[in-house]
Structures are given as C-alpha cells and as structure tokens.
Structure 1
Amino acid sequence: MKSRSYAIVALLMVQVLYGLNFTFAKIVFNDNFVGPLAFVILRVGGATILFWLVSLFLPKEKVDKKDYFKFFMAAVFGVGINMILFLKGLQLTTPIHASAIVTITPVIILVLSAIVLKEKVTKLKVLGVILALGGALALTIYGKSTRAADNVFLGNTFIFLNAIAYSIYIILIKQLSAKYHPFTFIKWLFLFGFFLVLPFGIGELNAVEWQSFTPAITFAVLFVVVGATFGTYLLNPLALTRLKASTVGVFIYLQPVIAGFFAMFMGVDTIDAIKIVAMLFIFVGVYIVSYKPKQKSV
C-alpha cells in the first residue's frame, strides 16, 4: 500500500513540475533569450549529464543487446519528437492553450494501454476519464492569458502531436520499467535523445547570448532542465513500476489546474466559479481513475 502511495505522490510531483514548466519556459521564449530548439538541447544535454553522474553511484545493471533498440525508440518519441514539438509549440501558443491540449494524452494512453499492454478498461476508469476530461476542457476553454502568441493554430497543432508522441513513450517505458531500474534505461534514453536533437538546435544554440541572462532567466532555464526534465523523467518511471500506464496518464489532467493557478499568481489569469467547478471535476476524475478497491479476503 505504501509503495502505491509513494507512486501517487511521485506522480503529483511530476504534474507540479510540468504545470510550472509551461510558464517558466514561455518566459524564456517571450524575452527571446533562448530559442525553442536550443532550449531542447539544453534540456536534454543537462539532464543527460545529471542522469549519468547519478548512475555512477548506483549498482550497474546489465542490458540485453536487443533492448538498446527499444531505448532508442523510446528516445525518438519521448525525447526527440516530444520535446521539439512541445517547446516549439509552446513558443507559438499560450501556456493555457498548451495545457488544454495536453489533456488529450490520457485518452490516447488509455487506448494504447488496452491494445498494447492488454490493460483492462473498467467502466469506473472510463467515468473518471470523462469527468477529468470535461473539467480540464472547461477550465482551459474559459481560461485567458495575456501572453503573446505568434501562431496559436500551428502551436496547438505541435502540442497535439507532442501529446501523441508522449503517449507512445509512456507505453514503451511501461514495458522497460518492468525489466530495468529507471536509471538504467533513462540514462541511455537521454544519451540517444541528445544526439537526436543536436542537429536540430545547434544553430540556435550558437546564437544564444549567455551574457544577457538575468538571474530570473537563469533560474527559469535551470528549473526547466533540473526540475521539469531530470525530475519528471526520473519520477514517471518510478510511478509506472507500481501503477498502470492509464492511471499515470490521467494525472496529466492536473496540469491545467496547476498551470492555471501559477498563471494567476504571475498575474496572467483570474479565478471564477466555472474554473472552481472545473477543477473539482478534474480532482474527482483523477481520484476515480487512481482508486484501487481492496481485494476481498477469501
């Protein structure tokens, strides 16, 4: 029971980090300190260094040669496609729009889990997904943001494709997390991912004027690299070892709530009755999906 509780706490931490990430990353883009493709290299490169450094202090685990291809494919969807489309999309759209579209991810994961992992989809789980989706859509449709967006339609399209890539990644690492310790495959995931994204962002990275960074921008970049990348990619697989992939996916519905509160704290959004009701729907939906009834003793 405790291990399941720890997994749920880990998932909540992931959503907090991701929820704050929408605004922090957007701040860096809006002020033109770092381009989205250069930011991808910073995220992946920084996390790669952290994962490999930490792995030096952990027991070594032998990897089957046939699984390296699985690591590579997870890197393609979970690092390369996922991060490039997310940060490029976030540059073009708003944090609230982005957090709205991300809520489609649990639906994709639920379908893939039933097809690939043969997970049982109960009526209660479907009800939880519908409640959470309804609340998330209501929250984000009525949400307002004063942040500039160059091309909302294109940005939203990139975020939607990012959600599909992330869903495939969750299914892939669900299978790997049952076989390896999270650090074993994540360090390889990011190493492969770094070489995948490097050609796309090296030009933007060379154009970054590091001396122009303010303390606030430096903090935002470090938060995205250490918290929203290293932290989330470490905690998600740990949660997957104790929870179903579809359960992990539905927690994404919390991101609009967190992103909305943080946007209000930063002065770019307001609270009203509709948003409060929407948030309640999200919390109830997440609870229903994560609820595991006690087994009756025979």
Structure 2
Amino acid sequence: MQNKVAMANWAMVMSKVFGGLNVNALHYLLPLWLAPLTGATFRCVFAAVAFWILGWFARPEKASTRDKWILFVMGAVGIYGYMFSYLMGLSKTTPVSAAIFTSMQPIWVFVISVLFMHERISLLKVVGILVGLGGALLCILTQKSDDLASDALAGNLFCLMSSVIYAIYLVLSNRFLKRTGTYTLMRYTFSGAAFSSLIVMAFTGYDAPLFESPLHLWPLAMLLFVLIFPTVLSYLLVPVGLRYLKTTVVAIYGYLILMVASLTSFLTGQDRFSWTQILAMVLICVGVYAVEIAENRGTRAPTSHLHSSPHA
C-alpha cells in the first residue's frame, strides 16, 4: 500500500507540473503561432481520438445510451466552453494571471454545491470564499494591459469564466463517473467537445501559422507537448491520485500549477514580478485552503473529490 501511495503522489506531481508548463506553452503559442479557437479544436480533437484509442486497451466499462448522449452534450458545452474561454483569455493576459483563476476552481465547485446541491456551509468556508474572491478581484482590477498582456481585463474575465464553466462541468460529471468509468467519461465528453470545436472552426476559419512553410520546429514541439502531456496524460494521472490520497492532499497539489506557471513565467520573461499579483495569488491559495480544510472536518461534500482539475 505504501508503494501505491508513493505512486499516487508522483502521479499528482507530474500531472500538476505538466499543467503548470501547459500554461506557459500555450501562452507562447497564442495567438502568434496558433489562433485560440484553432488551438481549442486541436486539443479537443486530439484528446477525443487519444481517449478512444486508449479505451480499447482498458477494462470494458458499461454505460447506457442515455448516459453517453448526456456526456456528449456535457463535453460539447462544458469542456469546449472551458477550452474556448481559457485559450481566449490566455491569448490576452499573462500565464500567472491565467493560473491564478484556474486555482479558484475548488471555490466555484463548493459555491455550486451550496446553491444547487444543498451543501452545508460554515463560517470557515464563507471566509475562504470571500478571501479567494478578493484575490480574484485584486488581479482583475489592478492588472494593466502592456506588451505581455494585450488586453488584461478581457483576458482575466475570460479566464475567470473558464474557471466557473469547468467547475460546473466537474460537478455534473461527478454524477456519471462512478457508474460509467473514467474512459467512458473521457471518450464521450471529449467527443462532444471535438464536435463543437469543429462546428465553430467551420465558421471562424482555420488559423495556424506554425504549420505554414517552412515548418517551425520549436512551436511544433510546444504544440505536441500541449497535446500529449497536459491534454491527455494529466487527465489519466489524476484518478491515480484520487484513488490513494485524501481529497485535501490532492487539492493542495493543485497549487503546483500556480507555482510552476509563475516560476516559468518569471524565468522566461512571460510575466513581470508584481506585488499585487503575488498578493492575489496568496489570497486565492489561502481561500482555497480554508475551503478544503473546512471540507475535511467532516461536512458532507458530494463533489469534494473533484476539487482538483488535471490541467489548465
């Protein structure tokens, strides 16, 4: 059992490191080498194909036709809506700001659970939510547009919207995960996302300068990294952590995305050091931690194991 716990910890570390590097890789690609909507299409279609292939080698999972259609619609609206808004936001703001809003997903999951699933609320949870929202508002209201963020306000709002959309998807998908299985969930939701992305791209057009002649090897390598590691592998590593680690431990690993994205951004010049941004980061981390600690004290939490998203 000890070896499995160690394996679960390493799985979470790799998943979150990939997630953090994903933010920087996407920021490098968008929008110079790849239009946001074209990038969303690449990610959704690649993941759908990959999960169907991997599913053929996995243990068979049962699911009703009705559940498969519901999962398809959830992916068409939820996953694609998340990808659409996140890539649009990341193309306009900095990687650190984008990672800040990604780290808020546990707060949104809890808020949705309170509003629609009669989740019990406590003073510590309320404080955590307010502190986290304060950090988000600080980031939105103080960040200015510059050479690193073409439209910081719009980008941050898109990233905030993506965080809320994905939290809604997590709450809904939790209802199907136990009775359908991981691969069924991934195959049908990403098939729905791929369908939506292809429909949208048919109207908006294909825009990927990195494929124009002559081929640009470094941008292509960045795209392959995004498609293989954060888009597919991270999704497969998270269930390993959830199986052998406590929910709070898994949630705390989510801070690695913010740490890796921030460190990489400062080292590569994708962002500049800002005290307000650092303060926003600290407030959101404290807020999420307070919510998680309150959940771990024994309150009923039907969606708590979804508090860790695999990627950005």
Q: Assess same fold via TM > 0.5.
A: yes
Match of 1:179 in 2: 179
How well do the aligned residues superpose, as a CA RMSD in angstroms? 3.9
- Give the distance between the partners of 1:114 and 1:125, measured in 2 at CA: 11
2:191 is matched by which residue type in structure 1? Answer: L
The answer as to whether partners of 2:97 and 2:139 remain within 8 angstroms in 1 is: no
- Give the distance between the partners of 1:283 and 1:76, measured in 2 at CA: 30
Match of 1:197 in 2: 197
1:25 is matched by which residue type in structure 2? Answer: L
Structure 1 residues 10 and 268: CA distance shift in structure 2, 3 A? same
Match of 2:302 in 1: none
Match of 2:120 in 1: 120
Match of 1:40 in 2: 40
- Give the distance between the partners of 1:18 and 1:206, measured in 2 at CA: 23
1:229 to 226, 231, 241: 231
Deviation at 1:25, TM superposition (A): 0.7
Match of 1:262 in 2: 264
- Give the distance between the partners of 2:137 and 2:238, measured in 1 at CA: 24
Match of 1:25 in 2: 26
Structure 1 residues 270 and 149: CA distance shift in structure 2, 3 A? closer
Task: Calculate percent identity across the aligned residue pairs.
Answer: 28
Structure 1 residues 142 and 204: CA distance shift in structure 2, 3 A? same
Deviation at 1:6, TM superposition (A): 6.8
Q: Give 1:7-156 correspondences, 5 Å limit.
A: 13-30=14-31, 32-129=32-129, 147-156=147-156
Deviation at 1:113, TM superposition (A): 1.9
The answer as to whether partners of 1:23 and 1:263 remain within 8 angstroms in 2 is: yes
Moved more, 174-183 or 230-239: 230-239
SS in 2 for 1:108: helix
- Deviation string 1:113-139 (CA, Å, 9 cap, x unpaired) is 224444434444445555666667778
- Deviation string 1:168-198 (CA, Å, 9 cap, x unpaired) is 1110111112222211211111112111110
Deviation at 1:165, TM superposition (A): 1.2
The answer as to whether partners of 2:73 and 2:192 remain within 8 angstroms in 1 is: no
Deviation at 1:52, TM superposition (A): 1.2
The answer as to whether partners of 2:114 and 2:121 remain within 8 angstroms in 1 is: yes
2:21 is matched by which residue type in structure 1? Answer: L
TM-score, normalising length from structure 1? 0.77
1:167 is matched by which residue type in structure 2? Answer: A
SS in 2 for 1:179: helix
